[in-house]
Amino acid sequence: MTDGQFIRQLTKDDWEAFEVLDQASFPDDRIIEKFYMLRIENEGCFGLFANDQLVGQLIIALFGDDAGHIGRVAVAPEYRGEGYGSVLMKYAIEWFKQRGGVNTIHLYTPQDNYTAQGLYKKFGFAVAGTTWHHIVPRSSLNPTGRYTCQEIREDEIERVGEKYPALPAGQIRRFLTDERFHVMTLKDNNGDIIGACRFTPGFPGCFPYLMDTPEAFDDFLAGLEPFSLPKFDHVRITYTDMPEVAKMCDARGYTLHHKLFKLTLTLTQ
């Protein structure tokens, strides 16, 4: 970084500047003030400053027991093209290396955001999957009653983590300490777990959304309704490498909010 540039953990006093930057960068998925205040209580919510102006944001977190997740990298529109994205990426990668035990880092980026993809690939990230984000109206659901959705039990955490690598046990426990989230399981009539998700009532959405068979789709989402906030008439689902679910959502006419690439980087310590 050059003179006048620095990165630091964001604080409550940065909210107004953060809100402007976040709105410009993620107008459809901006972070509201309540969740910003919760987020800054933990490590990994950083701002890039140039001459005391907030010019970029970086939100990162440990994921599971041996991975890292980059949630947001953004530079204010008027400062783009000046190398600030690379400054943030270098900082993120080094931050994960310093934690020790982190073997991989992953992130998600829109398929048509070629500028972001170029930045990530510059640092060694490679495409590892395709992710869809659909908006599902609750009125479209026709549950069969063959599957049951419920909050995860303590004695199920390890089993779910082993079955679904995208939702490792260590990360499930981390989610369960955060009041924004529920971790849900889906079971068939034999009591076998055939799906799991992290559900965020205030979004409202499931990410990751994991399911063994598309036929359980309606039961899974209908089962989330008791945990939802009443003002929403839809559920957002974000899932990776389940093309049969994507095909079904398209056939039903659900809105595709975005289609993403999942990118991963293997760290060399």
Q: What's the rounded mean pLDDT across residues 236-250?
A: 97
CATH homologous superfamily of 5-102 equals: Gcn5-related N-acetyltransferase (GNAT) (3.40.630.30)
- Whether the pLDDT of residue 158 is over 90: the answer is yes
Tokens of 96: 């994960």
pLDDT at 268 over 80: no
The domain defined by 133-264 folds into: Aminopeptidase (3.40.630)
* pLDDT value of residue 20: 97
Q: Which residue has the higher pLDDT, 95 or 34?
A: 95
Residue 1 has pLDDT above 70, yes or no: no
Residue 58 pLDDT level (bands cut at 50, 70, 90)? very high
What does the pLDDT read at residue 203? 87
Interior angle at CA 196, CA 43 and CA 259, nearest 5: 75
Residues 231, 103: Cα–Cα separation, whole Å: 40
Structural contact between residues 116 and 108, judged by C-beta atoms closer than 8 angstroms: no
User: Taking residues 131-158, what's their average pLDDT?
Assistant: 97
pTM of the model as a whole: 0.87
Q: Say yes or no to pLDDT of 21 above 90.
A: yes
- Say yes or no to pLDDT of 25 above 90: yes
What whole-number distance in Å separates Cα of residue 261 and Cα of residue 247? 17
Long-range contacts, stretch 193-198, CB < 8 angstroms, 24+ apart: 193/156, 193/159, 193/160, 193/163, 194/147, 195/147, 195/220, 196/152, 196/160, 196/163, 196/164, 196/167, 197/167, 197/237, 198/167
Q: Do domains 5-102 and 133-264 have the same CATH topology?
A: yes
Longest dimension (CA), the chain: 63
Task: Say how far apart CA 138 and CA 235 lie, in whole Å.
Answer: 7
Lowest pLDDT segment from 34-43, 54-63, 187-196: 34-43
User: Where are the chain's structural domains?
Assistant: 5-102, 133-264
pLDDT of residue 170: 95
Tens-digit pLDDT profile for residues 200-222 = 998 899 999 999 999 999 999 99
